[in-house]
Every structure is written in C-alpha cells, then in structure tokens.
Amino acid sequence: MDNAQLEQLVDQVLSGSKYKHITPDLIHRLSQKALAEGLRGKTAVKSIRNKLHQVGGAYFKQAVNYSAAIQELQQLSPQIDATEIRDYAFRVMQRHTSSAERLPDIETFFQTCLAPIAPVTSINDLACGLNPLALPWMPVTDRVQYYACDIYLDMLELVEAFLMHCNVNHRVIPCDLITELPNVDTQVAFLLKSLPCLEQMDKLAAERLLTGILAEHILVSFPVHSLAGRKKGMPSFYKAHFQKLISGKPWTVQTFEFQTELAFLVSK
C-alpha cells in the first residue's frame, strides 16, 4: 500500500468538520482497510465517513459547542454534588442520544447496578460518550479514580474539564477500542451500550474486550430501542447475545432492566 495514498485519504476524511476531532488512529485504520478493499477517492472517503457516522456521529442529537460548555462550567460550584453541577451535567447529557436516553432513570441506574460493589473506588468508562458527567449520580467514594476513553477528542476535552473542575482524580484517553485497551486496572469497567457499535467494526470485539478488561467487575449494557426508536424485540435479542458471549466463562452475572437499557454486572 502506498503511504502517500494512505496519508492523503486520512487527510481527506479528517477535513470534514464532523470528523476532524476523531482520533487519527481510527481514521488511519479505516483508511488502510478501505484501500486494501480496493476503494479509492471519493468512494473511499464516503465509505469511511459512513462507518464513522454509524459508530459515533449518529449519536449526537445536536452539535455540541464544547468551548461554550467548558466556559459555562467555570462559573459553577466545584462541588460534584452541588445542585448546579447536577443541573449542568443533566443538560449536557441531553445532547448525546446515549446518555439522554438514560436520564429518565438517572436517579436509579447507577445506584442499582453498582449497589453490589458500592462504594466504588475506581472506574474505567470505555467508549464513554458523555457518560462521565453522570458521576454525581454514581455511588462512589470521595477519592474515586475515573478513567474515560472514546474516539472524540473534543468530547474528551469537555469530560476532562468536568472531572478537573470537580476535583476528581482522572485520566481521559483517546482510544480506538478495536485495536487497544487502556492499560488501567480498576474496580469496575463500563461498557455501556457500546458493544453493538464496536461489533459493527469487528465481530470479535465484544468477546475480546470482555476477556481482556483488567477490572474486577464490568458493567455492560445494551439499548432497549434502536436509534430510530423501534423496539423490535431488542431486549430478548441482546439477552441471548450476551449469554452467548459469556458462556463457559467462570463469571457471575447480575441482570438489571430499565425502561431504555438492559444492564449486566459481570464479576470476574
């Protein structure tokens, strides 16, 4: 494969405003794949951008003005349990479909799913989206350590600003989970509603991640509706899918059902 051709394709994909904040490692990998499949020029750019839309872009309900959101944060109390911080986090999470869907259950979701291991001391939030802003609703210790990874660098800047503002020990990690897993060892890892996305890019990703994650516990979840709002038997489909993924593993699993999400707490 011609290196100049690869770099040119990467630059073309990154030149679009919706794609320029995506971690270049992922664009590189998708560009290599497209060229290996014989795609060239506009067709290659379109195919890569379609894939990026499916796994990431489609979840933004509206474009987020990250610098305005970070500026607004600076005016607020640094106390993570302050009402104004919760109100802010709630509003920001409305902008990403995945966290927005969880808001009707925000008071109970983490309290219920994490009760068996609370108070939580460290979290590795994989393919996090805007979920780290839900920290005020999680049963954690005062000194909780929060690691968060995703492919969107601008979204991670907001996540980082939020955790820093609230004095939370943290590290945000830009990462393509198909090729790497942040090398951190935590009490619990979150894989919230992200396995279907990752399996669209690599069929074996879910099994590899569930096995490779170093955490003692993994909170895994699946959506109950499609992005288009259809139910289509998704809870039973994902229950069966998850059972298959963990079959034969010596792990214990607790199941939790919410109006928009089906969650499993796996203890290794």
Ligand X SMILES: C[S@@+](CC[C@H](N)C(=O)[O-])C[C@H]1O[C@@H](n2cnc3c(N)ncnc32)[C@H](O)[C@@H]1O
According to DSSP, the β-strands at 217-223 and 261-267 are: antiparallel
Interacting residue with ligand X among 30, 113, 114, 127 (CB under 6 A) = 127
d(CA 99, CA 114): 17
Q: Which residue has the tokens 């983490």?
A: 110
Interacting residue with ligand X among 30, 31, 44, 56 (CB under 6 A) = 56
Q: Are 245 and 154 in contact (CB under 8 A)?
A: no
Residue at 244: amino acid letter: K
Please, what is the minimum distance in Å from the beta carbon of residue 34 to ligand X?
16
Nearest-CB residue for ligand X = 129
d(CA 92, CA 63): 11
Task: Check binding of 189 to ligand X (CB under 6 A).
Answer: no
Task: Check binding of 222 to ligand X (CB under 6 A).
Answer: no
By CB under 6 A, which span of 73-81, 115-123, 145-153, 159-167 interacts with ligand X? 145-153
Q: For 118, which DSSP code? A: P
# residues contacting ligand X (CB under 6 A): 22
Task: Check binding of 224 to ligand X (CB under 6 A).
Answer: no
Interacting residue with ligand X among 109, 148, 150, 166 (CB under 6 A) = 150
Interacting residue with ligand X among 12, 31, 99, 145 (CB under 6 A) = 99
By CB under 6 A, which span of 43-51, 55-63, 156-164, 251-259 interacts with ligand X? 55-63
Which CB, 149 or 246, lies closer to ligand X?
149
Q: Are 206 and 245 in contact (CB under 8 A)?
A: yes
Interacting residues of 27 by C-beta distance below 8 A, sequence separation 6+: 10, 13, 14, 19, 48, 52
Please, what is the minimum distance in Å from the beta carbon of residue 187 to ligand X?
18
Task: Check binding of 131 to ligand X (CB under 6 A).
Answer: yes
Q: Which residue has the tokens 């968060």?
A: 148
Three-state DSSP class for 260?
A: coil
By CB under 6 A, which span of 35-43, 73-81, 147-155, 181-189 interacts with ligand X? 147-155
